[in-house]
Amino acid sequence: MNHFRTIAERLEQQDLDAMLLTGAANRFYASDFYTPGTDAVALVTRDKAWFFTDSRYTEAAERHLTDAILGAVGGGRGYSALIQEVVSAENICRMGFEEAYMTVWEYERYRKALSCELISATQLLWDLRMVKDGEELETMVAAQRIAEKALAEILNEIRPGVTEKEITARLQYLMLHYGASDMSFDPIVVSGPNGSLPHGVPSEKEIQNGEFVTMDFGCVCGGYCSDMTRTVAVGHVTEEMQTVYDTVLSAQLAGIAAAKAGVTGRTVDGAARAVIDAAGYGPYFSHSFGHGVGVEIHEAPNASPVNENPLPAGAVISAEPGIYLPGKLGVRIEDVILLTEDGCRNLTLAPKELLVL
């Protein structure tokens, strides 16, 4: 599932001779081979691709890589020297680079070492990654199913006296047990008054009767992320808790109904926000309706109040409105949806009716 050819086909349109990939996410997207941090570099020209790494990864890369020439640093030759050899051999004059991922120090090093012009071109990769192909979607669905299996099991373990940290640890174990390679992000498990913290950190707090428990989690499978949030109640709910939950669910469904290719991110966000505003909870919805999901847990496009751009067909975004009453409670419900020309397809199968455990 590498995308070397996909990138190469865009270079002429961008008036580029090559694209240099130093960030781990774009490097993986291009090669379908993961190396952490700065432990590799990929270079794509209009008709060839190279992948440079060190001896820790060369054997694995040789087994896995296709459609790329593998090279290794060492013997006094670093990444800059290897790239310059290609620049000279292929007469590269204009090379795109990832200004959103590269540090100033790295940029200066490459600028001095390479005999070509470096052109800011992160957007090229972001535009490509927004639209998922069939294999990417299959992988994302697999990641989503793993998270849903973990959810189904963890519901049996949520009860008074269990701590937020214990639920977090079990969620991570269950996702790894069912086939995840990693977490999409550090899971969020918050209960009762901690639920008003949208990105609260799981603590030693024990879950109590009459509280909400919000779980925001996801895993990596095949290099792609899943993302979901479910809020459940323990023991019983108050009228206020039920009202807040019903409002968030109605807002999410309104946003999903508005989501399709060609509408703006602001329009989708606005459909959900209008429901929350009408219920009087507008000040307590503090983030956007959703964000893109893929190789990274947060990527383009966003369904936010500031995104006036049309959303593309093939994009996968989260659908996650929430209401957070400071010091009292919080509710968030999150699915991931695939945008199509006619609407959207919900990739999340887990039920959303309020569960009282």
pLDDT along the chain (357 residues), means of 10: 96 98 97 95 98 97 97 94 98 97 96 98 98 98 98 98 98 98 98 97 98 98 98 98 98 98 98 98 98 98 98 98 98 98 98 97
253 DSSP assignment: H
330 DSSP assignment: E
What are φ and ψ of residue 226, in 5° steps? -110, 165
Q: Please report the pLDDT score of residue 1 as a whole number.
A: 86
89 shares a domain with 219: no
Output the CA angle 143-258-302, nearest 5 degrees.
Answer: 55
Out of 95, 130, 165, pick the residue that ends a domain. 130
Q: Give SS3 for 5.
A: helix
Contact between residue 23 and residue 41 where contact means Cβ atoms under 8 Å apart: no
325 shares a domain with 194: yes
Residues in Cβ contact with 75 at an 8 Å cutoff, skipping those fewer than 6 apart: none
Number of domains in the chain: 2
Q: Please report the pLDDT score of residue 104 as a whole number.
A: 96
- One-character DSSP codes across 273-312: HHHHHHTT-GGG--S-SEEE-SSSSSEEEEESTT--SBPP
* Residue 350 to residue 216: CA distance in whole angstroms: 13
Distances (CA, A) of 61 to 42, 67, 261, 342: 12, 12, 37, 40
Task: Count the Cβ atoms, other than its own, within 10 Å of residue 141.
Answer: 19
Half-sphere exposure for 278 (CA within 13 Å, toward CB)? 12
65 shares a domain with 151: no
312 shares a domain with 174: yes
Range of the domain at 270: 134-346
240 shares a domain with 122: no
146 shares a domain with 47: no
With 0-12 / 13-18 / 19 or more C-beta atoms within 10 angstroms meaning exposed / middle / buried, residue 189 is: buried
* Residue 268 to residue 310: CA distance in whole angstroms: 10
156 shares a domain with 87: no
Q: Whole-prediction pTM value?
A: 0.95
334 shares a domain with 276: yes
Contact between residue 217 and residue 175 where contact means Cβ atoms under 8 Å apart: yes
Contact between residue 63 and residue 85 where contact means Cβ atoms under 8 Å apart: no
